[in-house]
């Protein structure tokens, strides 16, 4: 009797993310460079709470923001983008595709930092969507991953809202800023992505918003599975 094995899949290595500009309706994703440091520093003013669950502390100067960008820009295992909403024209956040496993077709959307004027906006949702769509549709990754501090309730809520499924929690997984961190893990599989993609697109559509910019339906209400 043969033992059970997993299904056969296409095993060709996926390409690395393209560090190119992506234009959306509400924002632009620009490859993160040193020239974004000043705008990011300004966006972080009076927003120290937004760094609580990040691996780095609030920037005390533009030079500190530049140093962070220099470090991530040199990392070949990740691609970072600055987020520039069209409503303000100012860069007010960044995100990345990271922990890339081309042979396993797995990739993580992470290191997401949004300043106060970007959080909980259509631009923020669209920014995350464009990165996910690049990974899944352009590059063919079949496992999209979201990880966060298990105590980070806004991040956990965002993962579920986008259609990620909770896989579990790694206990005492990391030490961040001298504190033990449990890590919550979420994923979207290739078979699930089309329904997630279509739901996010439907939610972002102008027809889903009233004259004051309020959503008429929740994102979850558009998902069919």
Asked whether 166 and 148 are in contact (CB, 8 A), the reply is no
For residue 5, being part of any structural domain is answered with no
For residue 8, being part of any structural domain is answered with no
For residue 61, being part of any structural domain is answered with yes
Owning domain of residue 196: 22-222
Helix orientation angle between 153-162 and 122-133, rounded to the nearest 10 degrees = 60
Count how many domains the chain has. Answer: 1
**What band does 10 get if pLDDT is binned at 50, 70 and 90?**
confident
Q: What angle do CA 91, 88, 145 make, to 5 degrees?
A: 45
For residue 4, being part of any structural domain is answered with no
Tell me how many helices (H) and strands (E) the chain has: 5, 8
For residue 14, being part of any structural domain is answered with no
For residue 11, being part of any structural domain is answered with no
CA distances from 86 to 20, 32, 109 (A): 18, 17, 22
Tell whether the model's pLDDT for residue 148 goes beyond 80: yes
pLDDT digits (tens, 9 = 90+) for 181-225: 999 999 999 999 999 999 999 999 999 999 999 999 999 999 887
For residue 17, being part of any structural domain is answered with no
pLDDT digits (tens, 9 = 90+) for 38-68: 999 999 999 999 999 999 989 999 999 999 9
Give me the CATH number covering residue 122.
3.40.630.30
The pLDDT of residue 119 is 94
For residue 136, being part of any structural domain is answered with yes
């Amino acid at each position: 009797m043969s033992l059970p094995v997993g299904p056969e899949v296409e095993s060709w290595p996926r390409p690395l993310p393209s560090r190119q500009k992506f234009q959306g309706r509400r924002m632009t994703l620009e490859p993160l460079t040193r020239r974004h440091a000043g705008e990011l520093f300004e966006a972080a003013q009076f927003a120290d709470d937004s760094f609580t669950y990040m691996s780095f502390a609030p920037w005390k100067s533009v030079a500190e923001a530049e140093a962070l960008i220099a470090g991530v820009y040199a990392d070949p295992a990740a691609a970072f983008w600055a987020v520039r909403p069209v409503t303000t024209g100012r860069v007010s956040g960044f995100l990345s595709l990271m922990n890339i496993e081309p042979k396993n077709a797995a990739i993580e959307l992470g290191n997401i930092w949004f300043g106060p004027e970007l959080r909980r906006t259509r631009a923020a949702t669209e920014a995350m969507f464009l990165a996910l769509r690049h990974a899944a549709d352009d590059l063919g990754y079949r496992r999209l991953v979201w990880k966060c501090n298990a105590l980070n309730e806004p991040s956990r809520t965002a993962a579920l809202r986008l259609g990620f499924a909770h896989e579990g929690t790694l206990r005492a997984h990391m030490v961040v800023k001298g504190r033990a961190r449990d890590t919550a893990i979420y994923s979207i599989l290739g078979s699930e992505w089309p329904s997630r993609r279509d739901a996010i697109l439907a939610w972002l559509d102008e027809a889903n918003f009233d004259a004051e910019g309020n959503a008429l339906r929740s994102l979850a209400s558009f998902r069919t599975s």
